[in-house]
A and B are shown apart, each in its own frame.
Chain A
Amino acid sequence: MWTIFRKDLAIERRTGEILFSLLLLALLVVLVFAFTLELERLREPRLLGGLLWATLLLAGTLALGRSMLLEREAGAWTALALAPIDRGSVFLGKAAANLLLLLIAAALVLPVMAILLGTSRLAPSPLLGLAILLGTTGMAAVGTLGAALASRTRAREVLLPILTFPLLVPLLIAVARVTSAGLVGEAPAAVRPWLVLLCVFDLVFLTVGWLTFDHVLED
């Protein structure tokens, strides 16, 4: 698992391709929000949580598709399938690499959003960090599995969001609430059910991906 993780990160370090496109896309999405929605309303700190996840979802999906496409190119997929390792670890490795990229993106995009949108009355608490960690984990798990499933078809760029968005609905509902709570400094107790839901979501999709990758990687 760690080998796959390091391999993906090594590729990323050399090319910087995915992270760069992820950040640029995220910035563009923020600009779209600024141009299309009423700026006065966007200052509301509770909105920032939702906007952050909409941005990450749109930008992240496109970037995650890339990471799976790299495997499809140059026959790396067959090599992965033949490698004497547990196929579930291939999933966990790739998901971990994607998670790291999403985390970096979230950490950079959030302050930029707050500045550009001029969000007022922010009181970030540690809960915010937890929300971002749990949210990106679930997104990485579903995104990695979805990208693998879509990678064999034509029109995979279109198919990936079609596959992942509906599956991510529970995560998005929960994480937007928890993130907003973290941004305005609400007590974690107020959002406990949401936190539990996020943990369960992450666990379920990491496990399912780990178990089903056996079938996915068998070409």
Chain B
Amino acid sequence: MTAALWLVFVVVPSERVQGVVQRIFYFHVHLAWMAFGGFVVTAGASVAYLARGSRVADRLAEASAEVGLVFTSLVLITGPLWARPIWGVWWTWDPRLTMTVVLWAIYASYLMLRRLGGRDEVILRYAAVLGVVGVLDIPLLIVAIRLWRGIHPAVMLSEDPDAGLTDPIMMWTFAVTGVALALLFAWLVALRMQFAALDDEVEALTAEDLA
């Protein structure tokens, strides 16, 4: 992570057209991918929980949704910071932006259900149902929003050979930040799962004490 920060802020040259703000993109893109990946993990773990009822699957679903939501929030914060100087506006109803904000809302509602419901067996099952339903909504969302509006930069597939990530150092930085953020994501999820396991243990012990 430190290495990634060093690369992003010190080593990498600024992009020709966009200048310094472009550096934010090294985080923004990976954060977005991690966040979406996290939501897919939540859905997968939810299916596993509904099928087998394993507590670990449920904890994974919750942890991944929580970290995913934090990452999505960061995407939504870093995005406008970049967009303001480059596009001239903080926000635009571009398909990807719209998608991200709706996804954010779906998973905020997922975590809300868990908070308001408590740690009861039934709520865990309800949350799993919502985890699955949420991910099924994504393809429909993509189609709907694409049809609705159709200026997001596709940096990697840019047609202008001079633009985008031409410098090998840029490529390296991009890769290193990717790995660093993936590790950070996994570490946070693991930490969150441990915490949930401890929480369950405390609850079990308290119940024993009361009995």
- For the complex, what is the distance from the CA of A193 to the CA of B24, rounded to whole Å? 37
B11-19, B35-43, B117-125, B184-192: which lies at the interface:
B117-125
Task: Give the shortest distance, in Å, between B7 (CB) and chain A (any CB).
Answer: 36
- For the complex, would chain A's binding face be called helix, strand, loop or mixed by DSSP majority? helix
From B102, B112, B128, contact of A162 by CB (8 A): B112
- Interface residues, chain A, CB within 8 Å of chain B? 145, 149-150, 152-155, 159, 162-163, 165-167, 169-171, 173-174, 193-194, 197, 200-201, 204-205, 208, 212, 215-216, 218-219
Per the 8 Å Cβ criterion, residues 128-161 of B in contact with A are 128-130, 132-134, 136-137, 140-141, 143-145, 147-148
B89 within 8 A of A: no
Q: Determine the interface band of chain B, counting residues with CB < 8 A from chain A.
A: 20 to 34
Residue of A nearest to B114 (CB): A153
- For the complex, would chain B's binding face be called helix, strand, loop or mixed by DSSP majority? helix
B166 within 8 A of A: no
- For the complex, what is the distance from the CA of A155 to the CA of B113, rounded to whole Å? 10
* Set of chain B residues within 8 Å of A159, measured between Cβ atoms: 109, 112-113, 116
B8 within 8 A of A: no
Per the 8 Å Cβ criterion, residues 23-50 of B in contact with A are 50
From A145, A150, A155, A201, contact of B133 by CB (8 A): A145
Residue of A nearest to B141 (CB): A170
Besides the known contacts A167-B133, A212-B132, 12 further A-B residue pairs in the complex with CB atoms under 8 A apart:
A145-B129, A149-B113, A150-B113, A153-B116, A159-B116, A166-B106, A166-B109, A170-B144, A173-B147, A194-B147, A200-B140, A215-B129
* Set of chain B residues within 8 Å of A154, measured between Cβ atoms: 116
* Set of chain B residues within 8 Å of A166, measured between Cβ atoms: 102, 105-106, 109, 137
* Set of chain A residues within 8 Å of B140, measured between Cβ atoms: 170, 197, 200-201, 204
* Set of chain A residues within 8 Å of B133, measured between Cβ atoms: 145, 167, 205, 208, 212
Residue of A nearest to B148 (CB): A173
B126 within 8 A of A: yes
- Interface residues, chain B, CB within 8 Å of chain A? 50, 102, 105-106, 108-109, 112-113, 116-118, 120, 122-123, 125-126, 128-130, 132-134, 136-137, 140-141, 143-145, 147-148
Given contacts A153-B113, A166-B109, A169-B102, contact A216 B145 (CB under 8 A): no
* Set of chain A residues within 8 Å of B116, measured between Cβ atoms: 153-155, 159
Q: Which 3 pairs, one residue from A and one from B, show the smallest C-beta to C-beta distance?
A: A170-B144, A166-B105, A170-B140
* Set of chain B residues within 8 Å of A153, measured between Cβ atoms: 113, 116-118, 123
